[in-house]
Amino acid sequence: MSGITSSAEPITDGQTAQIKTFVEHALRKSGVGKDGAQLIIARGDDLKDRLTTIFEELGIENEFADEKVEPDTDYSYDIRTLPGSDEQLAHQLERLELKGIEAIRITVVETMGEGAEGFGAIPSLTDLGKLWGIDDPLGAGYGQVLERLLGYLKTTRDGKFYSYLSDFGSDYVRLHSQARRIWERLEQLQSAEEGKIRFFVVPINFGHKYQGFSPRNARTDALAKGTMPLDPATVAALLLGWSKWQEKFENLVVDCPGAEYSWYADGEWTISCYFIFNDGRLKFNAYDAGIPYDRCGAAVAFPGVLQIAD
């Protein structure tokens, strides 16, 4: 594994300040008291060595950066058909048969910023899990949430939906660890309320930004830039809110690298899921996360710097 090269641009004062903030937050969260803090100070050399290792690991450049091809401009989608976030939310409540459930709308970022195409309303996976009696929706129960959402896609598409994947146990599909951490931070923005469902309104790029990238290249690049690679459950929910996103063959295939799939449940997490429209219906499948295609693009969200309470 290669480290940071000497040719890298120097770190800025602003970046240093942000990293210091993260370290301070971790220290407070650890619950270490005055005596414990003094022990850490006494072991300062050990602390510096460990932090250096962590910084080197996290600061490694994207090793998959070359996994991309020239985008095929014949494949796209009409972003003008994207409904407003309130309309998306209403569509999702109706299509998830949750019209009687009160929605809590949480605006995560108020302005779209560079790279975003529009605002998306994404339901809390934790709240969906509770409503459906699924334990640990961001962990072992993630596949059950995904499977349930795929079922609603089939219903709302008048049966014109097909999944090539049939195994959704925790050995087959899971949130990528870093994508899961972003989800957990989103969930901390506002406490859950019994019998209600939170919707997070965030700026999104629905595939154009990473068209031609392999899924793992898109995921690595997005995470390095503080962007959230979307998982298939989240994309399925967005599709329920914006049906015109995938309604014809010429639409860009949607990669979902925020989750990982294992063909044989053997611990090899090298597969990425995607949605495609062909043969007159929406389809769900997966392929090698290291292969770039010119008509595929990863969907990503821009949650900004999430403000987490101590």
pLDDT in tens, 276-289: 999 999 999 999 99
User: For residues 113 and 303, what is the distance between their CA atoms, to the nearest angstrom?
Assistant: 11
The pTM of the full predicted model, rounded to 2 decimals, is: 0.84
pLDDT in tens, 145-201: 999 999 999 999 998 999 999 999 999 999 999 999 999 999 999 999 999 999 999
* Residues 6+ positions from 162 with CB-CB distance below 8 Å: 281, 282, 283, 284
What's the pLDDT score for residue 7? Answer: 47
User: For residues 231 and 259, what is the distance between their CA atoms, to the nearest angstrom?
Assistant: 5
Cβ-contact 186, 284 below 8 angstroms: no
Q: Comparing 154 with 49, which gets the higher pLDDT?
A: 154
Q: Compute the radius of gyration of the chain from its Cα atoms.
A: 20
Cβ-contact 63, 224 below 8 angstroms: no
Query: Tokens at residue 140, please?
Result: 């072992």
Q: What is the SS3 assignment for 304?
A: coil
What share of the chain in percent tops pLDDT 90? 74
Cβ-contact 259, 252 below 8 angstroms: no
Amino acid found at 213: F
What share of the chain in percent tops pLDDT 70? 91
Query: Would you place residue 43 in the very low, low, confident or very high pLDDT band (cuts 50, 70, 90)?
Result: confident
pLDDT in tens, 208-241: 999 999 999 999 999 998 899 999 999 999 999 9
Neighbours of 171 (CB within 10 A): 14
Query: Tokens at residue 98, please?
Result: 């949750």
Please name the residue ranges forming H helices in the chain. 13-30, 34-42, 44-58, 85-95, 125-131, 142-156, 177-188, 215-224, 232-241
User: For residues 275 and 273, what is the distance between their CA atoms, to the nearest angstrom?
Assistant: 7
